[in-house]
Structure formats: structure tokens, C-alpha cells
Amino acid sequence: MRICLVLPVPSDFEPVFARLRSILQKHSQTLSVSEDTPASYSLAAKPGPATLNGWGGTMKRAALPVAWVQSGKSYVSYHLMGIGDNPRLLDTLSKELEARRQGKTCFNFNAVDETLFRELDQLTGQSIAAFRKAGFIVN
């Protein structure tokens, strides 16, 4: 049995989470909403041929995480799987957005920053398109 504890979004982060969630919601018609709770919003897609090749030709799961936003104790995290190994997209990041990046695919925010959120909105569309074009996901 799996127990899932949903923690409330800290009130300071509600506007941050809501704004980042709205960026992802623009893509909910071409991707599947795999989670939608007060603290997490997640999009997924069917694995494509490149993913299957990476998995040795065996389907390991029916859906592949593509992008998600999650509220934590200290910040709100925004994840984009399509940028992880995509130097073309990573080279376009502003210094300010790059400073928010943690690891390969995650950006952390603790306040609304409309300039960075507009950049992230554009990057999200490019990331999903590149992930699809590379064959990692299919519609």
C-alpha cells in the first residue's frame, strides 16, 4: 500500500506555485496531466522511440515525466526534462535564469519574477518541442 501525504503550499509560495503551474497548463492539451494537487502539478507523455532505445527496447513504464512544478519548504521547483542534455537550449539561458538552475533540469524560485517566468515560459515550449523532436516522447 502506498501512502501519499500532500503538504499544503507555504502561503509565501502560493503565488510562485500558481504562476509556474500556469506555464505548464498551457501544454496540458498535448501532454497528460499526471498529477494535480495543491503542491504539485506534473505533465507526462508516452515514451517515444529514443526512450525505448535507451531502455533497451523494453517499455519500462507507460508514461514519461516531461515537466512538473512542486512546492517545497524553502522554494518552488520547476523541472524540464527536455533541457537536461540539450546544449542548444542551455546556451540560451540568461545568467539570471542559469543562477536558478539546480542540477540538470531543475530551477528553484522563492518569489515571483515575471522576467524570469516569461523566459521560462518560452524555454518550456522549446524544451517540450525538442524532447518530442528527439523522439523521447510522442503525442
Q: What is the 3-state secondary structure (H, E, C) of 14-68?
A: HHHHHHHHHHHHCCCCCCEEEEEECCEEEEEEEECHHHHHHCCCCCCCCCEEEEE
Q: Is 4 part of any domain? A: no
Q: pLDDT tens digit string along 46-96? A: 999 999 888 898 888 889 999 999 999 899 999 999 998 899 999 999 999
Instruction: Report yes or no on 2 lying in a domain.
Output: no
Asked whether residue 113 is assigned to any structural domain, the reply reads yes
Residue 97 within any structural domain of the chain:
yes
Contact 59, 52 (CB under 8 A): yes
Residue 94 lies in a domain: yes
Which residue range forms the structural domain that includes residue 122? 11-138
Domain tally, the chain: 1
Domain membership flag for residue 17: yes
Indicate the pTM of the whole model: 0.88
Residue 65 is assigned to a structural domain of this protein: yes
